[in-house]
Amino acid sequence: MAWDVFLSYCRSDTTPAEALAAELRARGLRVFQDEVGVHRFDSVSRTIMAELGRSRLLLAYYSHAYPTRRACQQELITAFLAGQREGDPLRRVLVVNPERGTAHIEPIELRDARFWSPSAELRHLTEAVTRKVDELPTTIGGVDHGRAPLWLPAPAHRPPPRFVGRTAELWRLHSALHPQSATLTEGGGEPVAVVHGVGGIGTSSLVAEYARQFGATFPGGVFWLCAADPWQEQLTAIAEALGATGNGHAADRVALALDARREPSLWVVDGVPAGLDLDHVRRLLSPHPTAASVLTTTDGSYAELGTGVPVPELPAAQAIRLVLNQVEALAPGDRESAHKLVDAVGGHPGALLDLAGSARSAGLDSVRRRLFSRDWPVLESTAKRLLAEVDAAGDAGLDVLRAVTAFAPDPMPLPVLDGLGPVGLAVDRLARQSVVRLVGGGALEVPAVVAHVIRHSDPDPARHEQISAAALAARRVRDDFAVDERERAAAFRVQVELAHRVPVRPLGGGGLREAISSLHSIFSFTREQLRECGPDSSQRFGEVAERLMEEVLRPFLSEWHPALRRYEDRTQFDDTAWDPTAELRNALDALREPLLAVIRDLSRISGNPHGTRYL
């Protein structure tokens, strides 16, 4: 049976989608919808794709959840590419947008086109659908989608089996490679995309996933070259695979072979080093105009050659999903542990996959507890990779990262660099590695994973402390901190005590009574320091001290000190008494974040970074 409309929607939107389908059917339109169980899995079944092929138009119920479902994207891509092959990528797609904004809609062509809102009269939508269907004499399956592309050199560069997110980046990459059909792109431009981001962020995986999903757009083949491998050997292998034999230059033979085929193809150069001159990079691009070029790199300046596609950190929800996808069987608390790992290192896929790899043998909770420990460097491979990448910036580059990290997660104002000497060249090199980025025109920031690596894997801890102290002193000046020496000294004393207490450092086994007693002593010690500073301390140190005592320590101690005492008393007579130790360990673990926040605020007052490496 042929369908007029294929209704594409995600499971969470079943109710409004069914109402929409009923209205369309009432108007005499034949509507297909998956009524069995919409996209219960990540991929679309053959049955669903067959029904899409029998449909003339795809109507997407494009909610916030829609772009997060891989199956929905497969359906949209199929219809979009069918229209593109007919000369108009919007020919086979209409959108219903139930949200207030349009930023979630990809690709940009769909934002630029007219879309429909459920708040509008359904009559107008059904009339638009009817007009659109009448313009389409054939089904989506009747459009020649071409064959799956040939990968050279073989084998194909496969994306991760459970690729997560990146919907916006995939569509931006597609628009960059087809500038003639991107309605918001001025003047067409060259089909060159520069996919860039900090090392380990997933630029190669993004391009491989793009080639997998959009491969039918490139019937002439996907040519994947590695910038680090011998260039002439790779060109020769491609030329021979294309049947271009002879004694001429390999690039010329490839160009002649592509010219003879005259089919769109994709030319990928993976891992282009940062810092090359543009003429050198230009020579890496496709030797023939029928092949669109993609470069993956850390250096965003190469975007001058075409269109830049920056790859940011994953949003928190997608980053958590990436971690949990690596766990075969979820244990209690794994979702919370994954959330805290993402809080610590951000949405950096390389770091998160390293942590998930360690969790396969030790468990997510154990990895989370040891993330800040030097005894078990669970991020060792990520740290080595990032430190190797910044090596070109030299000692000055490390000093810049130390200073910026002292401000993280806040941006560091550029004038702070004045105290580090001539570091302009180092900043430029770090920026070309995407390790630091300029924000707001006057400040630098680093990704969360870079801050974590610098705090916990700095090759020169003494220099780290020195630069961090100088940066914190500059921050006090910037924030106009009127702190006297008594306050600074008191803040430092409490800071040191906190940095060496159990909730900040891993508890390990046993020691619950000692942990409670330790926190009691911190409460008393902080109160004594506040008393010695006098009444004026309420302006700076006093605010932090009061928050520590009244908002962090007192609620915890008032609940758990008597609970533990009752348990200890009862076990002398009753072996079945309620055992609170597991809950107490969890409560101590939850206390870590607020105590670290207090350490951060105390370090800004004292001007000393002691203990901030645990942040």
Q: pLDDT tens digits, residue range 88-108?
A: 888 999 999 888 888 888 887
Q: Is residue 141 part of a domain?
A: no
Q: What is the mean pLDDT of the chain?
A: 82
Q: What is the spatial distance between Cα 72 and Cα 190, in angstroms, rounded to a whole number?
A: 30
User: What six digits make up the tokens of 138?
Assistant: 């054939």
Contact yes or no for 232/252 (Cβ under 8 A): no
- Residue 180 and residue 157 in one domain: yes
Which position has the token pair 């000393």?
608
Q: How many domains does the chain have?
A: 5
Domain match, 200 and 332 both: no
In a domain, 194, yes or no: yes
Which of 102, 135, 168 is the last residue before a domain boundary? 135
In a domain, 143, yes or no: no
Do 478 and 491 fall within a single domain?
no
10: CATH = 3.40.50.10140
**Has residue 105 been placed in a domain?**
yes
DSSP 539-587: GTHHHHHHIIIIIIIHHHHHHHHHHHHHHHHHTTT-TTS---HHHHHHH
Cis peptide before 153 (omega within 30 of 0): yes
Q: Are residues 446 and 527 located together in one domain of the fold?
A: no
Quick one: 416 and 545 in the same domain?
no
Residues 34 and 182 in one domain: no
- Provide the pLDDT for residue 474: 78
Predicted local confidence at residue 292, as pLDDT: 94
Question: What pLDDT sits at residue 119?
Answer: 62
Domain carrying residue 595: 485-606
Shared domain for 123 and 222, answered yes or no, is no
581, part of any domain: yes
Q: Does 293 share its domain with 189? A: yes
Q: What is the pLDDT of residue 195?
A: 97
Q: Is 99 exposed, middle or buried (0-12, 13-18, 19+ CB in 10 A)?
A: middle
What token pair was written down for 485? 């020496």
Q: Are residues 452 and 537 in the same domain?
A: no
We report the CATH number of the domain holding residue 406 as: 1.10.10.10
Of 277, 310, 343, the residue at which a domain comes to its end is 310
The CATH number for 176's domain is 3.40.50.300
pLDDT reported for residue 415: 86
Beta partners for residue 294, in sequence order: 193, 268
Q: pLDDT by residue (tens digit) across 159-216?
A: 777 788 888 899 899 988 987 654 443 445 689 999 999 999 999 999 999 998 888 7
* Residue 264 and residue 337 in one domain: no
Backbone angles phi, psi at 425, to 5 degrees: -65, -40
Q: Both 156 and 303 in a single domain? A: yes
- Is-contact 310 300, C-beta < 8 A? yes
Asked if residue 28 is part of any domain, the answer here is yes
Q: What is the pLDDT of residue 36?
A: 47
- Residue-level pLDDT at 506: 54
Check whether residue 451 and residue 501 sit in a common domain.
Answer: no
Torsion sign across C-alpha atoms 584, 588, 589, 593: positive
Q: How far apart are CA 425 and CA 439, in angstroms?
A: 18
- Which of 456, 482, 508 delimits the end of a domain? 482
Judge whether 565 lies within some domain: yes
* 612 within domain boundaries: no
Question: Which residues in the chain come in under a pLDDT of 50?
Answer: 36-43, 182-187, 508-510, 538, 572-575, 577
User: What is the per-residue pLDDT for 157?
Assistant: 75
